[in-house]
């Protein structure tokens, strides 16, 4: 039995959900998102809650049960609050700034890096050493943050690079003479 899948997803006020076949569409104040579930689960909207139940007792149906419920919960969270990832830049001369709607990064390379975020994601640089990625799609927000971090991952000797806010970088000791 899935402990996650058993719990219904509550719909807050201002959020509506509709099911057609295996497709669920959730609409809220920040936008509209949809998810297509596999044939192993059935999704029902009852009042102001969405319930997910497995079709059969196969291993795959039980796996999809909890995953589908979590995906529906993420849709509801995305259209109400949205998702946010914060990045920090550490290093002498490393900085970020906004040029129109694209992000310009100075990361010690021979050239500046210009990053244009995809539709549905907003990237801001409130300070020169901070980057905030926001959107209603959790997967897309995480992917954009990972793509930005990929330009200069934090290195273990001096800790320079782009890291997630609150991320711990295991530091190594340098060479000894």
Domain holding 17, by residue range, is 3-80
The tens digit of pLDDT for each residue in 44-67 reads 998 899 999 999 889 999 889 999
**Are 43 and 72 spatial neighbours (Cβ–Cβ below 8 Å)?**
yes
Structure tokens given for 135 = 């959107």
Q: How confident is the model at residue 176 (pLDDT cuts 50, 70, 90)?
A: confident
Q: CB count, 10 Å around CB of 34?
A: 13
Q: What are phi and psi of 62, to 5 degrees?
A: -70, -35
Confidence (pLDDT) at 1: 59
SS3 (DSSP) at 174 = coil
Does residue 169 form part of some domain? Answer: no
Q: CA angle at residue 32 from 26 to 38, to 5 degrees? A: 50
Confidence (pLDDT) at 19: 92
Nearest Cα to Cα of residue 136 among 72, 67, 84: 84
Q: 2 pLDDT exceeds 80?
A: no
The tens digit of pLDDT for each residue in 103-148 reads 999 999 999 999 999 999 999 999 999 999 999 999 999 999 999 9
What percentage of residues in the chain have a pLDDT greater than 70?
A: 99
Does residue 173 form part of some domain? Answer: no
Does residue 14 form part of some domain? Answer: yes
The structural domain count of the chain equals 2
Does residue 72 form part of some domain? Answer: yes
């Amino acid at each position: 039995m899935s402990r996650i899948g058993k719990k219904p997803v509550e719909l807050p006020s201002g959020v509506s959900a509709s099911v057609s076949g295996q497709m669920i569409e959730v609409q809220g104040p920040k936008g509209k998102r949809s998810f297509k579930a596999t044939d192993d689960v059935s999704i029902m909207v009852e009042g102001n809650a969405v319930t997910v139940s497995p079709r059969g007792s196969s291993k795959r149906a039980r796996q999809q049960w909890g995953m589908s419920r979590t995906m529906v919960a993420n849709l509801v969270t995305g259209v109400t609050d949205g998702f946010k990832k914060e990045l920090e830049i550490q290093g002498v001369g490393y900085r970020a700034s906004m040029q129109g709607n694209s992000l310009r990064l100075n990361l010690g390379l021979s050239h500046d890096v210009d990053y244009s975020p995809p539709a549905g994601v907003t990237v801001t640089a409130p300070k020169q050493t901070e980057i905030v990625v926001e959107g209603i799609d959790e997967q897309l927000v995480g992917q954009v943050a990972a793509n930005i971090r990929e330009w200069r991952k934090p290195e273990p000797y001096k800790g320079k690079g782009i890291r997630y806010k609150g991320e711990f970088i295991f530091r190594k000791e340098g060479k000894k003479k």
